[in-house]
């Protein structure tokens, strides 16, 4: 018997396995998404669409060498897609663009200086920072998630750190510069 057999009628099926995976990863995914979006509402939505996509491709996700890395990649791609769509809408839409934090005023108020500074970085640098310094991935692992070279991860991380060091948002002594 395996742990997953509890409460089930027999061997764990794919859906039960997915549910267990989703329950275990949800908080970390929402936090990761918050690091990319800076908005709690958007973060939950992004985590939800990420897991929905993982569900739709569950056979592939569970076969992956590192399912967590696979899911991080889905999340980052989903965020890039949202970012691109928003830029297009802002550029071509007949109406005024929606504020980026339409649903997150509370979250915005509570957002830390570091997260605010992170949001000033280009999306790829933000993703590198999250993967390297929040997820604790190595440069090689981060490169695999992002589908780019180790050299790119190194340079993006270096540029991101340099920008964060000079960010006016972090000049209040909260991070020694």
Partner 1 sequence: MLNDETLEERLHQDLDRLQPGSVPMEALIGRGRTIKARRRAGFAAGLAAVAALAVGAPAALSGGGGSPATSGAAKRQIVLASGTIDGKTWSFVTEEPAPKGGCPGVSGRWGTTRADFCLGLMPVTTDPVSLSSGGGLSTVNFFIARLRPDVDHVTVTGTDGGVQTPAVATVSGNRYELFALPAKQGIARLDAIGTAGKLIAYTIPYNEPEHARSLIQLWYPAGSTPTQAVVKQIIFSGTMPPASTPVTATVDMGPFGVCLLVSVPQGLDGGSKLGPDCHSLTPPDPTSLTSLRSYPIGARKLFLGEVNTAVDHVDVTFSDASTTRLTPIRVGGHSFVVTFVAAGLDYGVVRAYDASGKQLAALS
Footprint of partner 1 (CB under 8 A): 1-9, 15, 18-20, 22-28, 30-32, 34-35, 40-45, 47-49, 51-56, 98, 102-103, 106-107, 112, 114-115, 129-130, 132-134, 136, 161, 164-165, 170, 174-177
CB 34 within 8 A of CB 26: no
Name the residue nearer to partner 1 (CB basis): 22 or 144: 22
Cα separation, 118 vs 121, in Å, equals 6
The residues near 114 (Cβ < 8 Å, ≥ 6 apart) are 164, 169, 170, 174, 175
Q: Which is nearer to partner 1, 26 or 83 (CB)?
A: 26
Cβ neighbours of 166 (radius 10 Å): 11
Q: Which residue's CB is nearer to partner 1, number 31 or number 148?
A: 31
Q: How far apart are the first and last CA of the chain?
A: 54
Q: Least separation, in Å, of the C-beta of 84 and partner 1? A: 15
Q: Is the Cβ of residue 130 or residue 144 nearer to partner 1 in the bound state?
A: 130
Rounded CA-CA distance 138/132 in Å is 6
Least distance in angstroms from the C-beta of 147 to partner 1: 21
26, containing H or E segment:
helix 14-37
- In the complex with partner 1, the residue whose CB is nearer, 4 or 69, is 4
C-alpha–C-alpha distance, residues 134 and 145, integer Å: 14
Residue 175 backbone dihedrals phi, psi, to 5 degrees: -125, 120
């Amino acid at each position: 018997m395996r742990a997953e057999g509890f409460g089930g009628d027999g061997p764990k099926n794919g859906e039960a396995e997915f549910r267990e995976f989703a329950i275990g990863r949800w908080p970390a995914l929402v936090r990761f998404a918050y690091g990319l979006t800076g908005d709690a509402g958007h973060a939950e939505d992004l985590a939800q669409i990420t897991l929905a996509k993982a569900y739709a491709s569950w056979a592939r996700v569970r076969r992956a060498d590192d399912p967590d890395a696979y899911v991080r990649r889905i999340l980052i791609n989903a965020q890039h897609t949202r970012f691109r769509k928003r830029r297009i809408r802002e550029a071509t839409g007949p109406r005024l663009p929606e504020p980026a934090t339409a649903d997150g005023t509370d979250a915005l108020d509570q957002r830390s200086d570091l997260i605010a500074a992170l949001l000033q970085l280009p999306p790829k640098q933000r993703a590198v920072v999250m993967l390297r310094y929040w997820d604790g991935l190595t440069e090689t692992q981060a490169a695999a998630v992002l589908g780019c070279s180790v050299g790119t991860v190194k340079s993006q991380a270096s540029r991101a750190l340099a920008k964060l060091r000079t960010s006016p948002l972090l000049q209040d002594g909260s991070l020694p510069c």
